[in-house]
């Protein structure tokens, strides 16, 4: 069965304690941890808190930025990613999300080679700790500085090039779900798919991420869910919502709406 979870980016202003309490009370089974919140609260306290809250760690965000666009050199980014691998192992997280980093004035072939070399090194550590990495493609309209990897074909090519059994992908419907071909890709993605994040938007991303409540945008989330079930995907499903369109909605309302939306999705598939 899929674990329904919430990414902490959805409740960015809340503390770790508030997140755990609210997610559990709302009926979610998992939590996507955000490393700055983890650093603030401490990993040992987090493990204890999540045990008390009966929340499973579906993901840890994020490691990477290997091209230098995030302020770290390649070696420092790799060291930080290996540190994140150890954190993910201690948390028993389903996956560690990895971002490539922006092109940062590199030619594309050099950026790709730098990324693959770094992923091979980090994947070796991930294999030793039995942690699964998930490379996430980011829409160019809102994330050029975070990743030069924008589409599923390129993501799969890099995964196959690196060749590690512990490197897969994270699919965020906000970033790739407005492309009509994405659902057609699911049979090819399924063997590599570690995490699905549900996000919606009223238009294609431009500038800052601007997500709306699930089901109120143009991403065909029900078709995504049905296709994932049809493909036999049993991994975690996370809500990730942030942006101007939901700034005036309380976190409690965001969580309640998301949980009801997931309940309707799973209920509709069960009845069919």
CB atoms within 10 A of CB 72: 18
Confidence of residue 271 (pLDDT cuts 50, 70, 90): low
| pLDDT surpasses 70 at 272 | no
The residue among 75 and 72 whose pLDDT is bigger is 75
pTM for this prediction: 0.95
User: What does the pLDDT read at residue 147?
Assistant: 93
User: What does the pLDDT read at residue 228?
Assistant: 96
Q: Which residues pair with 34 in a beta bridge?
A: 61
What backbone phi and psi angles, to 5 degrees, belong to 33? -80, 145
User: What does the pLDDT read at residue 269?
Assistant: 66
Domain that holds residue 230: 4-271
User: What does the pLDDT read at residue 267?
Assistant: 83
Q: How many folded domains does the chain comprise?
A: 1
Task: Please say whether the beta carbons of 234 and 243 come within 8 A.
Answer: no
Average the pLDDT over 55-67 and give the result: 96
Average the pLDDT over 119-124 and give the result: 98
Report pLDDT digits (tens) over 136-156. Answer: 999 999 888 889 999 999 999
Quick check: bond before 62 cis, omega within 30? yes
Task: Please say whether the beta carbons of 158 and 112 come within 8 A.
Answer: yes
Cα dihedral value 208, 94, 37, 198, nearest 10: 30
Instruction: Read off the CATH number of the domain in which 52 is found.
Output: 3.20.20.150
* Per-chain mean pLDDT for the chain: 94
What backbone phi and psi angles, to 5 degrees, belong to 193? -85, 115
């Amino acid at each position: 069965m899929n674990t329904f979870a919430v990414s902490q980016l959805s409740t960015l202003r809340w503390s770790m304690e508030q997140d755990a309490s609210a997610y559990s009370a709302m009926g979610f089974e998992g939590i996507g941890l955000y490393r700055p919140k983890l650093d603030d609260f401490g990993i040992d306290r987090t493990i204890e808190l999540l045990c008390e809250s009966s929340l499973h760690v579906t993901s840890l965000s994020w490691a990477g930025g290997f091209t230098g666009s995030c302020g770290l050199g390649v070696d420092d980014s790799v060291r930080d990613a290996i540190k994140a691998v150890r954190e993910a192992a201690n948390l028993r997280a389903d996956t560690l999300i990895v971002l490539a980093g922006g092109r940062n004035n590199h030619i594309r072939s050099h950026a790709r080679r730098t990324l693959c070399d770094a992923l091979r090194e980090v994947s070796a550590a991930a294999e030793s700790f039995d942690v699964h990495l998930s490379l996430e493609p980011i829409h160019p309209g809102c994330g050029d500085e975070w990743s030069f990897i924008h589409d599923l074909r390129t993501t799969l090519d890099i995964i196959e090039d690196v060749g590690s059994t512990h490197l897969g992908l994270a699919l965020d419907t906000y970033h790739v779900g407005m492309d009509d071909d994405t659902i057609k890709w699911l049979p090819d993605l399924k063997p590599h798919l570690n995490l699905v994040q549900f996000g919606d938007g009223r238009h294609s991303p431009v500038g800052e991420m601007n997500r709306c409540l699930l089901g109120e945008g143009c991403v065909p989330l029900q078709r995504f869910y049905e296709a994932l079930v049809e493909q036999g995907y049993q991994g975690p499903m996370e809500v990730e919502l942030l942006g101007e369109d939901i700034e005036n909605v309380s976190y409690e309302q965001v969580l309640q709406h998301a949980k009801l939306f997931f309940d309707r999705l799973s209920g509709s598939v069960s009845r069919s």
